[in-house]
Amino acid sequence: MTSSDMDFLTIALPKGKLFSPAAEMLAEVGYTAEGLSENSRKLVIANDTLKIRFIITKTADLPTYVEYGAADIGIIGKDVLLEEDKDVFELLDLKFGLCRMVLAVPERLAGENVQDYAHMRVATKYPKIAERFFHDEGIQTEIVKLNGSIELAPIVGLAEMIVDLVETGRTLKENKLVEVARIHQATARLIANRVSFKMKFDRINKLKEDMRTLVEKRGLK
């Protein structure tokens, strides 16, 4: 780290649905910068007075920025942490952005237990999570990695089932899919680079405790 790096705390925020609640939560505990916006053309947004820098990254890339020290800390969903499997400190469950990772199949294939789906193809954005789940269940499957429109795969015959992240389950219903197993729940997490956590412990720990107090004040569960 350079002396400039040590002066500033660099915070990574993810594009997408977690950006606004993450930025709002940080602002409530005094961490913000003029022009901080998901759509900002600036790659780095700084508050020179508070010695804070923000970078806004693609969701899947954020843990990598933190792991390699390009950001000291970041806010990201637990689902991304599990899929990317990066070497970072998970400091705090921020209790927002609640979703669940599920196994879903077409209504006509709904069975009594997970073993009914052995030797089928599964489409997912989360191949590592899916592979661990089926391995733990002792089931052999063929995993097809997709980047979007996961629900389309069973409709067109690409796969018999999907592993995906859902909030309300509305999209599943609209595509005549049913949840047959819940793999895990996911909420937003505060993470830190391991070296930064030691070198900037006082600043990072204060931020963590301020956010913990805010989570408790909000009564989030």
Residue range(s) in the chain whose domain bears CATH number 3.40.190.10 = 3-97+187-218, 99-185
How, if at all, do strands 99-106 and 89-93 pair? unpaired
In the prediction, which pLDDT does 179 show? 94
Could you give the count of Cα atoms lying within 13 Å of 102 in the half-sphere of its Cβ?
18
The domain over range 3-97+187-218 is classified in CATH as 3.40.50.300 = no
d(CA 221, CA 219): 6
What pLDDT is attached to residue 135? 95
Residue 47: CA count within 13 A, CB half-sphere: 16
Question: 99-185: which CATH number, 3.40.50.720, 3.30.413.10, 3.30.70.890, 3.40.190.10?
Answer: 3.40.190.10
Q: What pLDDT is stored for residue 39 in this prediction? A: 87
Low-confidence ranges of the chain (pLDDT < 70): 1-5, 220-221
CB 75 within 8 A of CB 29: no
**Rounded Cα gap, residues 94 and 101, in angstroms:** 18
Q: How far is CA 137 from CA 53, 126, 130, in A?
A: 44, 17, 11
φ, ψ at 101 (rounded to 5°): -90, 125
Find out whether 192 and 12 touch, Cβ atoms under 8 Å.
no
What pLDDT is stored for residue 3 in this prediction? Answer: 46
The answer to whether residues 35 and 55 touch, using CB atoms and an 8 Å cutoff, is: no
Long-range contacts of 35-39 (CB under 8 A, 24+ apart): 38/13
3-class secondary-structure state, position 98: coil
Q: Which two tokens stand for residue 19?
A: 């950006």
Partners of 93 in the β-ladder? 189
Identify the CA nearest to 7 among candidates 151, 217, 196: 196
